[in-house]
Structure 1
């Protein structure tokens, strides 16, 4: 399984990652930030990393 991290300091909860993720990996939590709730569904496309306007998402295979 890939390692997905979202930096809560950078995430503003815009939801861009949710909109582009084909695996529906992300959800906005009660804190208003994006969280990878289904990392096992990650298709390793890196579109969330590219779409995040704040550079808040890091995936080990998307370096």
Structure 2
């Protein structure tokens, strides 16, 4: 199981994490920023971490 953390102060709401996640863990919030909608589906691949230009996402194995 993996824990996903988003630093919303850094997030630019560009949608890269939403578009790139192979497990479709994220939904788009009303403000355009990602919402962790299905954390149990996270594969731990860290694609979201790699594509985030702001470095706003971390994935930690629990």
Q: Which bracket does the TM-score occupy, shorter chain normalised?
A: 0.7 to 0.9
1:5 aligns with 2:15: no
* Count of matched residue pairs: 61
Query: What TM-score comes out, normalization by structure 2 length?
Result: 0.88
TM-score (norm 1): 0.87
5+ residue gaps in structure 1? Answer: none
- Large movers: runs of 4+ above 4 Å: none
Unpaired runs of at least 5, structure 2: none
Q: Considering fraction of residues, name the structure with more strand.
A: 2
